[in-house]
Amino acid sequence: MSKPQIPKAEDIQLFPPSPPSKAPSFGAGLRTWFLTGVIIAGPLAVTGWLVWWVVDTVDHWVKPLVPPTLWPDTYLPVRLPGTGVVLAVLGLTMLGFLAANIAGRGFLRLGELMLDRMPVVRGVYKAVKQVFETVFSQQSSSFRKVCLVQFPMPGMWSLAFISAPPAPVIGGSLPEASSDYISVFLPCTPNPTTGFWFYVPTADVVEVSLSPDEAFKLIMSAGVIQPGAHKQIAEMAEAALGEKAKTSV
């Protein structure tokens, strides 16, 4: 009788070989190609629609203010979009140039005096003018710094934009008047034009080294578009919680 063959160590397979992977089906390939096309064409389509909407809106606002003889559409067989935008930029630049002169300042002061005599209009005009001067002022830092605040409850951190400190008439009425306060605007997702505006003690505000553009992308995408500093945000929030825990002990 022949002796049984003892298998060699290299012939022993502890794990059976995995079956060969199947090639993706034609339907899976079509689905992948379709999603790739959506990812490429989607942002281009949305951007193009927004640009077209802005240009068309400005054209409809400016067109009634300009004589038809100055519009290229009068002499062309097709409508030429964007002419209103060019005329609006030129008109606003010329208006700013005239307002910087002595005569322009005089006319501007005269117009403001006339508006100041209108009971309802003067309040609206002053409020809107102050907002525009604050937002578009090159020296202003409002809405140019991003911060973290605990909202809607302690331990939950939300991105907000630092606005301005409270006026003395408001700051004196806030609790703990000895503490410094700052006003912040917390935009909502996915529409950042709405949100909450409130006063917060400066000690509870954690500034973040994010640009306003990065913060808006993070808020509008509900955290999908993460900036490069998202890890830093989590570390700052944890550090702030740790410091607050130490001070409360």
Q: Where are the domains of the chain?
A: 146-248
Q: Report the alpha-carbon distance of residue 112 to residue 130 in Å, rounded.
A: 13
Q: What is the mean pLDDT of each run of 10 residues along the chain (249 residues)?
A: 55 55 70 84 87 88 82 79 85 82 76 80 79 64 82 87 82 71 87 85 86 84 68 60 60
Q: Pick from 211, 218, 228, 162: which is nearest to 192 by CA?
A: 218
* pLDDT recorded at residue 72: 79
Helices 83-100 and 102-116 pack at an angle, to 10 degrees, of 100
* pLDDT recorded at residue 127: 78
* pLDDT recorded at residue 172: 75
Per DSSP, the three-state class of 206 is strand
For 218, phi and psi rounded to 5 degrees? -65, -40
Per DSSP, the three-state class of 199 is strand
For residue 2 the two structure tokens come to: 């022949």
- Widest CA span of the chain, in angstroms? 124
Helices (H), the chain: 26-62, 83-100, 102-116, 119-136, 168-171, 212-220, 230-248
Q: Report the alpha-carbon distance of residue 57 to residue 6 in Å, rounded.
A: 87
- Which pTM was predicted? 0.53
